[in-house]
Amino acid sequence: MTDAPQALATEKEARDVAEDARETEWEHPSFARELFLGRFRLDLIHPHPPADEAEEERARPFMEKLQAFIDKVNSAEIDRTGEIPEELVQELRDMGAFGIKIPKEYGGLGLSQMSYIRAMELVTSKDGSLVALLSASQSIGVPQPLKLFGTEDQKRRFFPRLAKGAISAFALTEVDAGSDPANMRTTATPTEDGEHFIINGEKLWCTNGTRAELFVVMARTPDVEKAGRMHKQITAFIVDASMPGVGVAHRLRFMGLKAIENGVIRFDSVKVPRENILWGEGKGLKLALVTLNTGRLTLPAGCAGAGKQMLRITRKWANERVQWGQPIGKHEAVAQKLAQMAAYTFAMEAVAELATALYEKGGYDIRLEAAIAKLYNSEAGWRIIDDTLQIRGGRGYETAESLARRGEAPIAVERAMRDFRINLIFEGSSEIMRLFIAREAVDHHFRMAFDIVKPESTMKQRLTALGKSTPFYLSWPVPTHRDGYQLRSYGEFGKLATHVRYLERTTRHLGRAIFHAMVRYGPKLERKQAVLFRAVDIGSELFAMSAACVRAQMLKKKGQPEAVALADTFCREARLRISEHFRNLHGPNDENMYKLAMSVLKGEHAWLEKGIAAENTEMGDTMAQIDASDEYDRSSTLSHTLV
């Protein structure tokens, strides 16, 4: 292992690290995985897993306290000052909001993932900075990996502190290791006796890092040789902020989430005992990925919460605001947006709750569902906020404070927009989510049939692959009753049955389209991001449509038949988007676009950038204006910054 490797990882190294961390086996079924294989396994999600009424009853006292707390929070003040007052954090601690899922035996509330995401949905509908504090702590911070991979001893040592409100953080990202962890530079070097590791390095954008008591830190431990090749090892450690050498180098500030406690965290020869390793040496990245499978369920629920809030704002405003002799909601252009928003909000909640309910049911692999939920809801939520801002017009762009000053309702759409945008970047950017989903979407096809299309395959290899894959591919045109897969009319779905039949047909179409893409491009398919991403988007729309239909059906049975109209409108619109993706699957303009981008990169169109201000002109002024009191002493240890 190199202590301070300078060169960036090569593409091959980056892939090796990602592949080593990838979960390759599918022990449990997944509806989304089956979609990409061309099989519509409705039986895996329908009927919608029932609500756990006993759990809802258990969660009620906490949810009521949280609702009362959220209703009185002054988010404008938090946004303006860039700080969450300590009294608010203490109030959250006192109600157990930092230990929602921690088992009762360790002092937590012992509530389910569903209760947890509903709590986060509620908080997101009011305040982005508060949800970042709570969810970075519990979705990706110490409690989640501790629950999944901790030893009994580790659970006894850390859970009670966390349940009482010790804030935690997840430190993976570094300056050169954003989406690509192979560039990680932070090292954990074993001491001679092997009892400790010495951590050195700097982590970037660590949410809660400036206030955390406990961190999960990913660091490189010595490379190991496997099958004659050296493999990079990334290991997860629980690090206590009070350990000598842990320090906050900078508090970072952003476009939104103004009070997020995010920083550059420095680890300077921090001595960590071996027993603080989570799961095992070299398993850190896999731990991060598995943690994120469930961690990612929170953000989609938050997006649904934001969508609901926007819908409420828009409904009220589109009724109230009269222009050109009509409430603006009655002008068709606005009405279209309003309908789209309601349909999307319904689908977003359906996606988030279905993925979570499947996780709770157990015996189900949610890694693709969680990734789709994160991707779909963050992008749909962003469109909803954009439409809300448009419908609010000038008032959408004006700050809440300014609106209040001139006597209007302080509706903070511009803040919601600033706070929301990061959802498309962290916990896996939209592009990385699409790559992750695409990797799984093509995996089975490549494993079964790649030898048939690979130019260098021998005849024997081709015949073996043909024998292996024929039964699978033959089953597409004529669906069989195997594995619960059947051709049906889906009459029980009433008005939605037409969409469910479409889902069944189109799922087969998607499987075939992915197979054809493999035949057409062979090994080059993995570089065809535009093609793969369209296939991913079709799969994501199919998943969202399925979730919407199944949820509407459940709600109809519970006496809420209005849900059917929302699901129906959502499905009609999704079908249009899917047709568009299929029509352009092979992107007639993709090659041309790539060529143009390459010539832009080479500077061949730099002439287009003439007539504008010089770069970085504001930097000198900005640096001069920095208020020293807003920056941490670079040498301070984190424990000094704890309140």
Ligand X SMILES: Cc1cc2nc3c(=O)[nH]c(=O)nc-3n(C[C@H](O)[C@H](O)[C@H](O)COP(=O)(O)OP(=O)(O)OC[C@H]3O[C@@H](n4cnc5c(N)ncnc54)[C@H](O)[C@@H]3O)c2cc1C
Contact 163, 150 (CB under 8 A): no
Rounded least distance, CB 445 to ligand X, Å: 21
Rounded least distance, CB 348 to ligand X, Å: 21
> Does residue 205 touch ligand X according to CB under 6 A?
yes
- By beta-carbon proximity to ligand X, the closer residue of 212 and 574 is 212
Contact 381, 423 (CB under 8 A): yes
> Does residue 422 touch ligand X according to CB under 6 A?
yes
Contact 128, 135 (CB under 8 A): no
The tokens describing 276, both together, are 């603080």
Contact 551, 48 (CB under 8 A): yes
Report the half-sphere exposure of 298 (CA within 13 A, side-chain side): 29
- By beta-carbon proximity to ligand X, the closer residue of 107 and 178 is 178
599: number of Cβ within 10 Å: 10
Candidates 108-116, 328-336, 427-435, 625-633; binding stretch for ligand X (CB under 6 A): 427-435
Contact 176, 183 (CB under 8 A): yes
- What pairs with residue 264 in β-bridges? 250
Rounded least distance, CB 368 to ligand X, Å: 18
- By beta-carbon proximity to ligand X, the closer residue of 189 and 429 is 429
> Does residue 426 touch ligand X according to CB under 6 A?
yes
> Does residue 144 touch ligand X according to CB under 6 A?
no
End-to-end CA distance of the chain: 38
Q: What is the DSSP letter of 49?
A: P
> Does residue 584 touch ligand X according to CB under 6 A?
no
Residues of this chain, 450-509, that bind ligand X according to CB under 6 A:
none
Cα separation, 392 vs 411, in Å, equals 10
Candidates 32-40, 109-117, 319-327, 424-432; binding stretch for ligand X (CB under 6 A): 424-432
- What pairs with residue 501 in β-bridges? none
Cα separation, 520 vs 528, in Å, equals 11
Residue with tokens 């959408």: 396
> Does residue 404 touch ligand X according to CB under 6 A?
no
Q: Which of 30, 112, 262, 388 binds ligand X (CB under 6 A)?
A: 262
Per the residue annotation, which of 353, 427, 440, 504 is the catalytic one?
427
* Closest to 282 in 3D by CA, of 200, 224, 226: 224
> Does residue 530 touch ligand X according to CB under 6 A?
no
Q: Which of 207, 210, 309, 378 binds ligand X (CB under 6 A)?
A: 207
* Closest to 183 in 3D by CA, of 17, 22, 21, 20: 17
Among this protein's residues, is 121 annotated catalytic? no
- By beta-carbon proximity to ligand X, the closer residue of 197 and 436 is 436
Q: Which of 178, 222, 245, 327 binds ligand X (CB under 6 A)?
A: 178
Q: Which of 9, 32, 92, 171 binds ligand X (CB under 6 A)?
A: 171
Cα separation, 384 vs 338, in Å, equals 9
Rounded least distance, CB 148 to ligand X, Å: 17
Rounded least distance, CB 168 to ligand X, Å: 10
* Closest to 232 in 3D by CA, of 6, 23, 440, 19: 19
Look at strands 322-323 and 262-273 and give their pairing. unpaired
> Does residue 183 touch ligand X according to CB under 6 A?
no
Sequence-distant (6+) residues with CB within 8 A of 562 are none
Rounded least distance, CB 251 to ligand X, Å: 12
Q: Which of 206, 301, 448, 563 binds ligand X (CB under 6 A)?
A: 206
Candidates 99-107, 166-174, 225-233, 588-596; binding stretch for ligand X (CB under 6 A): 166-174
Rounded least distance, CB 301 to ligand X, Å: 18
Cα separation, 144 vs 278, in Å, equals 11
- With residue 388 as reference, give the H or E element that holds it: helix 367-392
- By beta-carbon proximity to ligand X, the closer residue of 236 and 566 is 236
The tokens describing 86, both together, are 């300590």
- By beta-carbon proximity to ligand X, the closer residue of 37 and 171 is 171
> Does residue 148 touch ligand X according to CB under 6 A?
no
Q: Which of 136, 306, 328, 348 binds ligand X (CB under 6 A)?
A: 136
Rounded least distance, CB 318 to ligand X, Å: 32
Candidates 181-189, 254-262, 355-363, 583-591; binding stretch for ligand X (CB under 6 A): 254-262
Rounded least distance, CB 14 to ligand X, Å: 8
- By beta-carbon proximity to ligand X, the closer residue of 423 and 546 is 423
Cα separation, 126 vs 71, in Å, equals 8
Complete DSSP assignment for 417-469: HHHHGGGGTSSS-HHHHHHHHHHHHHHHHHHHHHHHH-TT--HHHHHHHHHHH
Look at strands 214-226 and 168-171 and give their pairing. parallel
Rounded least distance, CB 616 to ligand X, Å: 20
SS3 545: helix
Q: Which residue is nearest to ligand X (CB)?
A: 178
How many chain residues touch ligand X (CB under 6 A)? 21
Rounded least distance, CB 454 to ligand X, Å: 23
Q: Which of 76, 339, 404, 425 binds ligand X (CB under 6 A)?
A: 425
Q: From its phi and psi, is residue 640 left (phi > 0), alpha (psi between -120 and 50) or beta?
A: alpha
Candidates 59-67, 87-95, 164-172, 510-518; binding stretch for ligand X (CB under 6 A): 164-172
Candidates 27-35, 345-353, 358-366, 423-431; binding stretch for ligand X (CB under 6 A): 423-431
Q: What is the DSSP letter of 327?
A: E
Cα separation, 381 vs 306, in Å, equals 7
- By beta-carbon proximity to ligand X, the closer residue of 136 and 542 is 136
> Does residue 594 touch ligand X according to CB under 6 A?
no
| Rounded (5°) CA angle 205-208-210 | 85
> Does residue 279 touch ligand X according to CB under 6 A?
no
| Interacting residues with ligand X (CB under 6 A) | 136, 170-173, 178-179, 205-207, 254, 257, 260, 262, 422, 425-426, 429, 431-432, 435
Which residues are marked as active site?
Answer: 427
